[in-house]
Chain A
Amino acid sequence: MDKMPAWADAVLVPLFSIILAAILSALVILAIGESPVDAFKLMVDGALMRSAGWGYTLYYATNFIFTGLAVSVAFHASLFNIGGEGQAMLGGLGTALVCLFIPWPHWSLAILGSAMAAAAFGALWALIPAYLQAKRGSHIVITTIMFNYIAASLLNYVLVNVLRPTGSMEPSTAVFPEATHLPTFRDMFSTADTILFRGAPANVSFFLALIACVVVWLLLWRSKLGYEIRAFGFSESAARYAGIRPVRITIIAMMISGALAGMMAVNATQGEAERLILNGTEGAGFIGIAVALMGRNHPIGVLLAAILFGFLYQGGAELALWTNIPRELITVIQALVILFTGALDNMVRMPLERLFLSLRKKEA
């Protein structure tokens, strides 16, 4: 065997990528004229040391879990879904319609209804590029990017001209009815004496995201459909040999991917904003790509990477609040992580692999 063990590949390579990204980011912070050590302390303090910080970190993480899983599922079918952002926007529209126009008796029913609507809208938004790819050969990367813009324009139109309450100056829907409001972590975990997660937006849909991780794992590695998706992703010619229909798998995998991206709206739209606003997705659809890359397209990896990016997001907000470091620095770190885990993967892997091999030689 001329390879390093699987655990090293799955753990050490991403870890080193983050460390490299962190070192470069530290240099950027130095260049701005701030102390990287203080900045790091501030990030950890703001995102992880208090329950409210965790409440934000996990809120962001919930979004990233959904979009990360979305990218992963498509990726296993060898499809690069860059349309998570647009699919999440449409998911928000689905959630908004269900929450506004169906009189839900209780949040537990509302979350089911809104999850289904968000998934359906996201899936249908992914269906069009999927169909074009499967039947017409239009490249999915191009079409899903274009569909992000179409989704943004569509949402703009709907919010300005259709769903905006009369008299409101803001392009957003009315606030959803009280019965659809989801319990936040504060509602769930605070006791009479101690209030936890004060003011933080993390809510019950975090657990929906955890369930999604399990379901995606079962789907990909324990179900027939997942088997077909992975087989198709590795080799289309072999899939055709086995009687796996490329058109069918392309469309189904993209619809599952779109559904997962859409379900982000349960957290962001129903859980946090409690109304549909413009740009409620905040780029989470794109971060899903980084999360999936870093998480090696595996639900456990996606979960961990999503929490890491949640931390970066919340920590970045703290930085912007207390220092001169702009919030965009987080985008730089994110870009560096993508660069190292995606584009420069071998730069990290090859030296590590060599190290492992030489260690093993010594043992032998």
Chain B
Amino acid sequence: MEQSTAPAIELKGISKAFGPVQANKNISIRVMPGTIHGIIGENGAGKSTLMSILYGFYKADAGEVFIHGKKTEIPDSQAAISAGIGMVFQHFKLVQNFTVLENVILGAEDGPMLNTSLSKARGVLKKLAQEYELNVDPEELIENLSVGHQQRVEILKALYRQADILILDEPTGVLTPAEADHLFRILDNLRAEGKTIILITHKLREIMEITDTVSVMRRGEMTATVKTAETSPEQLAELMVGRKVLLHVAKEAANPGDKVLEVENLRVVDEDKVERLKGVSLNVRAGEILGIAGVAGNGQSELLEVLGGMIPATGTVRVNGQEIDLTGKNSDGQSRRARGIAHVPEDRQHEGLIMEFAAWENVAFGYHHEAKYQSGILMNNAAIKADTAAKMERFDVRPPNPKLKARNFSGGNQQKIVVAREIERNPDILLVGQPTRGVDIGAIEFIHKQIVALRDAGKAVLLVSVELDEIFSLSDRIVVMFDGQIMGERDPATTNEKELGLLMAGITDTSNAQMEAKQNG
């Protein structure tokens, strides 16, 4: 039959412009049935736009879509679903206080009475769970499920609607390594059953691990489509960025000095009376990078916020041997900066920058009290602008226009502004949270180099990241946080992702590990 040889999806000459920005330029792609096809590219390369066209969110300006060899119009997501396309978004679209079952049938109910749909779905879910290792308790509320399980519900939703083409948008961003491994096993099973999968990601490792073919996008264009077996991460990175990229920052062995930052028994209770930090103790020496690994939401953010002066805490923190105020008048960000602590916050859009401020206003942000920015009782805006222009040049911020609003820079350039502001203060301690989240590969390389250079200058760096690659690449020591506690410290030279992954899941001894494996299996 001709059907079996036709590609599951074929896009021909897809173009899409938003105003003057050409998000997709004449893109053609063929995905054969029963394969996993990766689409890789930097932020803003046009991956999401392309998938949104395929799922009916946007209408392409030009081009055609063929599903199993048949030309198909996809004006909305309903059409995409009936064409057999299912999408698993990066941010799940689940009703938190519904059960798994209710979420699965939502929008696909049969008839006016719920009972019939629910019992039918129960049967289908049971079958799917057995076939694909997709076990979730159908009667559990979404809010009680882990992120990994919620993602499975999203996949189940798509399969329940009889999707045979699955699109996953950055699926591993929120998963622990163990959860990611499980997801890949699921994808493997789906492929074995003949489903077609499109995996959008910016992580080269995942592409290499699971895909059959991979397409690289850059600036709205499809620059290459290759067989995964015939390529290498280095080649893919080069195709993505358009030049050679160092994937792992080259650094000398650390030369640690005195303890610059000492944290003892730090506790934080949030507004809902939930204990977020449960007695955290650690220290960072001059000239070393301490990496904190962990799944997002296990207290790393609170640790940075306490040290950066954003929230109060109990316990003891010493900077250069002197205790600092954790609750009183001198516990704000201003006092922290005065003590030599600089902070690249996790969320640059809501913390590190004022998006509506111009770049020059952001360069003074947090340091607007400094004498060099004042002239009399007013601020010396000319001095700030000159300083900004200089920083933009040194950090290669593009476009180098101090008057442009922060909102109008790309993620990587926004982050460069933040990093330039904090690192150029030459702080004793640099707190860095998710330094390369949403940042393109070229900028990642640059930012990593700056952090290592600061370490080599004898400064202490506390790094929080959910990207294990980043933790391994930068850290001189690694501690793992889980549920507001430190689970242990490891040497990056002797540990591995599996060991850290278990710690990140809160498992310290092997008997528990087996239990967890059983649960997941």
Contacts and interface: CB of A to CB of B under 8 A. Distances in A.
B379 A241 contact: no
Interface stretch (B74-82, B353-361, B512-520): B353-361
Contacts, number: 73
Contact of B333 (A227, A234, A243): A243
Interface in B322-374: 332-337, 343, 345, 347, 350-357, 361, 364-366, 368-369, 374
A224 to B, nearest CB: 6
Nearest to A236: B350
Contacts of B335: 243
A227 B308 CA distance: 21
A236 to B, nearest CB: 9
Interface residues of A, number: 22
B352 A243 contact: no
A2 B350 contact: no
Given A227-B361, A227-B379, A231-B365, A241 B20 contact: no
A319 to B, nearest CB: 41
A228 B368 contact: yes
A297 to B, nearest CB: 13
Nearest to B333: A243
A222 interface: yes
A214 interface: no
Interface string A1-28: 1100000000000000000000000000
B351 A237 contact: yes
A218 B336 CA distance: 29
B379 A234 contact: no
A234 B368 contact: no
A223 interface: yes
A139 interface: no
A2 to B, nearest CB: 4
A4 to B, nearest CB: 12
A245 B374 CA distance: 20
A234 B335 CA distance: 22
A241 B19 contact: no
A329 interface: no
Nearest to A232: B354
Most buried by B among A1, A240, A241, A357: A241
A245 B312 CA distance: 13
A364 B19 CA distance: 12
A2 B378 contact: no
Nearest to B19: A2
Given A2-B19, A242-B365, A245-B332, A234 B377 contact: no
Contacts of B352: 238, 241
A235 interface: yes
Given A2-B19, A243-B332, A234 B365 contact: no
Contacts of A222: 378-379, 381
A230 B355 CA distance: 12
Interface string B380-406: 010000000000000000000000000
Main SS class of interface, B: loop
Interface in B1-25: 18-21
A355 to B, nearest CB: 14
B367 to A, nearest CB: 8
Nearest to B345: A241
Contacts of A234: 354-357
Contacts of B381: 222
B365 A223 contact: no
B309 interface: yes
B350 A238 contact: yes
Interface in A236-264: 237-238, 240-245
B306 to A, nearest CB: 12
A218 B377 CA distance: 10
B368 A227 contact: yes
Nearest to B356: A234
Nearest to A360: B20
Interface string B275-296: 0000000000000000000000
B507 interface: no
Given A2-B19, A227-B379, A238 B354 contact: yes
A299 B379 CA distance: 19
Nearest to B375: A222
A224 B379 contact: yes
B310 interface: yes
Q: Which 5 pairs across A and B sit closest by C-beta, in order of nearness?
A: A243-B333, A243-B334, A242-B366, A2-B19, A241-B351
12 contacts: A224-B369, A227-B368, A231-B354, A234-B357, A237-B347, A240-B332, A241-B333, A242-B366, A243-B334, A243-B336, A244-B334, A364-B20
Given A235-B350, A243-B335, A243-B366, 12 more contacts: A1-B20, A2-B20, A224-B369, A224-B374, A235-B351, A235-B354, A240-B332, A241-B343, A243-B332, A244-B333, A244-B334, A357-B19
Interface of B: 18-21, 308-310, 332-337, 343, 345, 347, 350-357, 361, 364-366, 368-369, 374, 377-379, 381
